[in-house]
Amino acid sequence: SSTKLLIKGGTVVNAHHQEVADVYVEDGIIVAVKPDLKVSDDVKVIDATGKFVMPGGIDPHTHLAMEFMGTETIDDFFSGQAAALAGGTTMHIDFVIPVNDSLIAGLETYEEKAKKSCMDYGFHMAITKFDDIVSRDMEIIVKEKGINSFKFFLAYKGSLMVNDELLLEGLKRCKSLGALAMVHAENGDAVFEGQKRMIQLGITGPEGHALSRPPVLEGEATARAIRLAGFVNTPLYVVHVMSIDAMEEIAKARKSGQRVVGEPVVSGLVLDDSGLWDSDFATASKYVMSPPIRASGHDKALQGALSNGVLQLVGTDHCVFNSTQKAFGIDDFRKIPNGVNGIEERMHLVWDTMVESGQISITDYVRVTSTECARIFNIYPRKGAIIAGSDADIIILNPNSSFEINARSHHSRTDTNVYEGRRGKGKVEVTIAGGRVVWENNELKVVPGSGKYIEMPPFNYLFSGIDKADASYLSSLNAPVKRSKSTT
Ligand code: DUC
Ligand code: ZN
Ligand code: ZN
Ligand code: ZN
């Protein structure tokens, strides 16, 4: 069956340009973007007059159905994606966790989990070990499985963490495959030490989580990862930049010409750490994520860095545990499963915090919530654009309407929300995913199994400049200094 849609009279916003135009969609693809399109009677017409018609959000950083810290996130590929669609996000990229260090076994597990998808998705692959088998599998993952990014955890000592030797091997392998290396940047050895220190001091509550892993540990690991990526001469993507310390390292590297991408997440942009000191455990523990949500001031600085381009795109790290799961750590903050919500809230909170406040333009909003992610992961302009030929992942946002966030009405399966009670301007009134209207009149109409896996090709273009730099470096090595053997 061919679904036909006409979105009439809205302001179409792309990352480069905005204009009043109609958008005509057929069979999940945008066919035309032009003012005053004429269509036949069998076409469903949506009036977008006075509203913004924008590419659906792409969340570069989520954890759905992830086994973690002795439990599993409560949002799976269906509930998490349904929540996303209700908030104007139409694609996400999730992190595959290897099974017993096997990338292929990990991917098979995630392929199974993702079968119930109701929106498009892609994968990043985490690397937890390095040997000949992992090296071979990385090649299979890039060349045959449609994954072009690998993530290294510098934290989570004893489980996911990699040391510098492994990180270096991984960076070299990413480079040779044309894949993008990503890092969770916190010094895991120091975090471990900090946690012991807190317990010795008798600080066992959620505030101990923040105190045990201060910004300096994020700054150190960010600087180290950047320098090692520079040493290997390969690009680096720093996930969930939560502190001024990490942001300033990224700013410095970018200024010096190094290709480093910085991803703030919504929680880091709009929250501060005060909730962790709440006397109610259920309230305090819902804010526990890593790196921690920082003291007031870091949030505003990260907003500034997003508006001036030091940071490029916004993720969520959506990784949700309900209050029963969070209570695993009632006597010891080290056992509180790490993670906060955000997949449903991201588009609204970025609009309200960044556009409504005048810190970025509407075209920049599209860039940081959608287009930049599509470009970085090499799926632009299939995703991240409203142009003829692109996938029909579209949202209609009403700037004069308002949103309110609470656990009662959200679509995630969790029973708490770290943004509880927040209101703001700008509401996603319609979400269209793959040409289907899935969110309209505050109602979700999602179809399990309708989401497609989006393959992301490796980055030949990204590496051409680097090959040149390497060539001049290598030729300098081939020119040893000639010294005379003369004696005096
Ligand atoms: N941080 C979290 O808070 N949850 C998932 C993994 C991570 O790095
Ligand atoms: Zn245009
Ligand atoms: Zn992380
Ligand atoms: Zn994460």
Task: Tell me how far CA of residue 373 lies from CA of 66, 105, 351, 377, in angstroms.
Answer: 22, 27, 17, 6
Q: What is the mean pLDDT of the segment spanning 304-331?
A: 98
Q: What local confidence, expressed as pLDDT, does residue 477 receive?
A: 66
Q: What local confidence, expressed as pLDDT, does residue 485 receive?
A: 84
Is residue 469 predicted with pLDDT exceeding 90? no
Q: Tell me the CA–centroid distance for residue 40 and ligand 3, in Å.
A: 49
Which bound ligand lies closest to the C-alpha atom of 156? 1
Model pTM?
Answer: 0.96
pLDDT band at 48 (very low <50, low <70, confident <90, very high): very high
pLDDT band at 464 (very low <50, low <70, confident <90, very high): very low
CA 184 to ligand 1: nearest atom: 8
- How many Å apart are CA 469 and CA 353, to the nearest integer? 40
Q: Which residue has the tokens 């993008």?
A: 180
The whole-angstrom distance between residue 16's C-alpha and the CA centroid of its chain comes to 21
Tell me if 319 CB under 6 Å of ligand 1. Answer: yes
Sequence-separated (6 or more) residues with CB below 8 Å from residue 124: 93, 94, 95, 96, 147, 149, 150, 151, 182
Tell me if 181 CB under 6 Å of ligand 1. Answer: no
Q: At what angle do helices 244-255 and 298-307 cross, to 10 degrees?
A: 30
pLDDT band at 383 (very low <50, low <70, confident <90, very high): very high
Q: Tell me the CA–centroid distance for residue 327 and ligand 2, in Å.
A: 50
Q: What is the mean pLDDT of the segment spanning 450-468?
A: 76
Q: Tell me the CA–centroid distance for residue 38 and ligand 2, in Å.
A: 20
Q: What local confidence, expressed as pLDDT, does residue 486 receive?
A: 80
CA 338 to ligand 1: nearest atom: 3
Q: What is the mean pLDDT of the segment spanning 456-462?
A: 76
User: What digits encode the pLDDT tens for the residues 1-43?
Assistant: 468 999 999 999 999 999 999 999 999 999 999 999 999 999 9
ipTM of the complex model: 0.93
One-letter amino acid identity for 102? S
Which residue out of 62, 63, 64, 96 has the highest number of ligand 1 atoms within 8 Å of its CB and is therefore the one to mutate?
A: 63
Q: What local confidence, expressed as pLDDT, does residue 473 receive?
A: 63
Q: Single out the residue of 426, 289, 296, 409 nearest to residue 357, CA to CA.
A: 426
